[in-house]
Amino acid sequence: MAALSTTSYAAKPKMNVLLLVMDDLRPELNCYGDKSMITPNIDQLAANGVQFNRAYCNIPVSGASRASLFTGLRPGVNRFYDVEAKISEDAPEAITLPMLFKNNGYITYSNSKTIHAPKDAADSWTASWHAKFPGKTWRNYLGKENIENDGKRNASLAYECEDVSDDQYIDGMTAKKTIEQLRELKASGKPFFIATGILKPHLPFNAPKKYWDLYDFDKIQLPTNYQIDRSTFPQQAFHNWNELRFYKNIPENGPFPDDTEARRLIQGYKACVSYADAQVGRIIDELKTLGLDKNTIVVLVGDHGWSLGNHGDWCKHSNFEVVNNTPLIINALGIKKGLKLNEIAELVDIYPTICKLAGLPVPAQAEGNSLDKLLMKGKDKKWDNSAVIKWHEGITLMTPDNSYTEWLDKNDKIVTQMLFAYKTDKAENKNVANDPAHKATLDALSKQLRASRGKNFLAQKK
């Protein structure tokens, strides 16, 4: 990857960066309004920083979402398509965010799952660390039966509740490793960019028993649109949630025969969120203990959301808001603390934002917009209040009042459309794309989407 000159910036004091990337985390947090959730550490991070209520991934699958986040590049027809997306293949000339910092004299560490493929853009890091799996695979089972069946379809459960310590699961090990690095870096005085990946609440929903005990199963409820009339929706809006169907007690096709397993999955997801929150707390507490919080930019973000039975769907891989809305919290020197902003942000905005906050140049490749004015002033009169999300052939434009999706053929022609009017339908329960009363809105949003999806959207791979 190309190197940037460090000459202009060598004399300036360097702000550290701690980027916490959460896997499959939707805004299932107390600070985002879900008062059933026990997430005190992320809540405190939000209270001391700026919380974006309407932050959206640009593509709802880990590999592509993270490739986009770490390059500041939007997905296109032939770039960052799916889970196996690689920066080295789809954008080999891009300067990754950690590489930019490395070229400017920073120590750059990657812990656990950050960029999705472990060896992708490997030269971005001074060092990369991955835990040794206690079980057979990354699924990180500790229970005997689950370990024995791990890797076999329909054999291991989609969750696990073991009475173990936090550090026996990978995220606890990751928190411990990050803390060790912070202590080392404090002693050395060297500026750093640490990206730490927290795996939970990704499937399987494995968390220590004490976090399961926080949520009474009898109080777990299904979403209000768990069963929904799909007659107004195009068939492209839904998928078969194959990621979940790999596990035991999940039907091969169709819905659950009753709500017991569905509610258990929701309980497991909540337990994993609280477990992940505890690991965030350990890391942030150490940052403060070392006095590094004063000169460290902290960004906490989910790589995308997740459906917990909403619209009768599960997992990610769709164009619904619940799959694409994700937490974004930023804490840095000089920001207006405690703000909860409703301006729409995209994950491609993170790259230029971190650059701006750290005083580094923003490479021309970055397609997002820096959030720095919103962070410092709480407003930005010129803010482009929209987001573009791509899932396979479906492209979504999020605006303050609407969600508009069009599915495209290979000639970039519209196959079908979906429109939700948020003033009357925030839960996205009725597609009004075919309602003549919304024709003018539909046409205007289609034009805006085409102008906003990125200049290289149709570009071919080199």
- Can you give the pLDDT at residue 133? 79
Dump the DSSP string for 14-54: PPEEEEEEESS--S-SGGGT-TT---HHHHHHHHTSEEEEE
Question: Is residue 254 one of the residues assigned to a domain?
Answer: yes
Yes or no: say if 269 and 28 are a contact pair by the CB < 8 Å rule: yes
Question: Strand pairing partners for 111?
Answer: 129, 196
- Give the pLDDT score at 11: 47
Confidence of residue 460 (pLDDT cuts 50, 70, 90): confident
Amino acid letter, residue 93: E
CB atoms within 10 A of CB 173: 21
Residue 204 in domain? yes
SS3 label, residue 328: strand
* pLDDT band per the 50, 70, 90 thresholds, residue 462: low
**Which string of b and e fits 31-63 if b means at least 16 CB within 10 Å?**
bbeeeebbbebbbbbbebbbbbbbbbbbbbbbb
Q: What are phi and psi of 227, to 5 degrees?
A: -110, 125
Burial class (CB in 10 A: 0-12, 13-18, 19+), 70: buried
Q: Tens digits of per-residue pLDDT, 26-49?
A: 999 999 999 999 999 999 999 999
- Are the C-beta atoms of residues 18 and 299 closer than 8 Å to each other? yes
* CATH code of the domain containing 334: 3.40.720.10
* pLDDT at site 12: 61
How confident is residue 347, by pLDDT bands cut at 50, 70 and 90?
Answer: very high
Phi, psi of 97 (to 5 degrees): -60, -50
127 is a domain residue: yes
User: Total domain count for the chain?
Assistant: 1
Q: Record the pTM.
A: 0.96
**Is 270's pLDDT higher than 80?**
yes
For 81, the token pair is 């398509």
pLDDT for the residue 227: 95
Q: What is the mean pLDDT of residues 297-325?
A: 98
pLDDT of residue 235: 97
Share the mean pLDDT of the chain: 95
Whether the pLDDT of residue 2 is over 70: the answer is: no
pLDDT digits (tens, 9 = 90+) for 196-233: 999 999 999 999 999 999 999 999 999 999 999 999 99
Instruction: Report the percent of the chain where pLDDT is more than 70.
Output: 97
Residue 400 belongs to a domain: no
Q: What is the dihedral of CA 383, 388, 389, 393, to 10 degrees?
A: 180
Q: How far apart are CA 42 and CA 198, in angstroms?
A: 13
Q: Does residue 429 form part of some domain?
A: no
Q: Is residue 179's pLDDT more than 70?
A: yes
The domain containing residue 274 runs over which residues? 16-386
| 138 occurs within a structural domain | yes
pLDDT mean over 96-117: 97
CA 405 – CA 395 distance, rounded (Å): 5
Q: Please report the pLDDT score of residue 9 as a whole number.
A: 40
Overall average pLDDT of the 14-19 stretch: 97
- Give yes or no for residue 240 having a pLDDT over 80: yes
Residue 213 lies in a domain: yes
DSSP secondary structure string for all residues of 249-273: T--SSSS-SSSHHHHHHHHHHHHHH
What tens digit of pLDDT does each residue of 67-102 get? 999 999 999 999 999 999 999 999 999 999 999 999
What's the token pair of residue 418? Answer: 């979906």
The tokens of 32 are what? 């985002």
| pLDDT confidence band for 461 (50 / 70 / 90) | confident
DSSP state, 76?
B
The answer to whether residue 395 sits within a structural domain is: no
Is residue 344 very low, low, confident or very high in pLDDT (cuts 50, 70, 90)? very high
